[in-house]
Amino acid sequence: MQAIEPVYANVKKVVVIGPECTGKTDLSKFLATHFKTVWVEEYARAYINQLIQPYGQSDLIKIAHGQARMEDEWIREANEVLICDTNALVVKIWSEHKFGECDKEILALTERPYDLYLLTYIDIPWEEDPQREHPDKREHFWATYKNEIEKSEVPFVEIKGSKEERRKIAIEAVQKLLV
């Protein structure tokens, strides 16, 4: 007997990724609305909000697993495309920067399949937020994300410009993916 493939197996997965405060969440919400689908929020934000002490490397492992679980849950509700506001690659880069290494569990989660990265650029103003740590390192992190994405061989599109320009570029990139 042949196994029945779930309907969501054909859903394309798009990750909005980039340094802190580059419009990822806003773009993720917009794309989900535009494509009449769902989006996976950034798990780290809710997780860190509930901590009573600064986060450690063990927390990053939990965050990476939580992000993956949310993807797995929300893909069942997706309409052709799942929009992800970050993924385990962000956790890998953050772990290497903050702790000088990355746990093998996080590295394993970076191997999950994706269809497109939307890499948000640093051309929008920094906004203070208790969870944001490096306003002076956005260019460094942008280059790091770009390098990691290029190594992944997953197609990517750079998202730059005004809010309208960013949205237009992102819509076109996702539409190409869905054709």
Domains and CATH numbers, the chain: 7-178 (3.40.50.300)
pLDDT at 7: 60
Overall pTM surpassing 0.85 (yes/no): yes
pLDDT at 137: 86
% of residues, the chain, pLDDT over 70 = 92
Provide mean pLDDT across the span 29-39. Answer: 98
Burial profile 50-73: b = 16 or more Cβ within 10 angstroms, e = fewer: eeeeebeeebbbebbbbbbebbee
Find all residues with CB under 8 Å of 110, minimum gap 6, and list them: 87, 88, 89, 92, 152
Least confident residue range of 35-39, 60-64, 108-112, 125-129? 125-129
pLDDT at 126: 79
Quote the crossing angle between the two packed helices 138-152 and 88-99, to the nearest 10°.
Answer: 130
Tell me what the pLDDT averaged over the chain comes to. 92
Per-residue pLDDT reduced to its tens digit, 63-109? 999 999 999 999 999 999 999 999 999 999 999 999 999 999 999 99
Provide mean pLDDT across the span 8-36. Answer: 95
Per-residue pLDDT reduced to its tens digit, 141-174? 999 999 999 999 999 999 999 999 999 999 999 9
pLDDT at 6: 63
pLDDT at 133: 64
**CA separation for the pair 166, 162 (Å, rounded):** 6
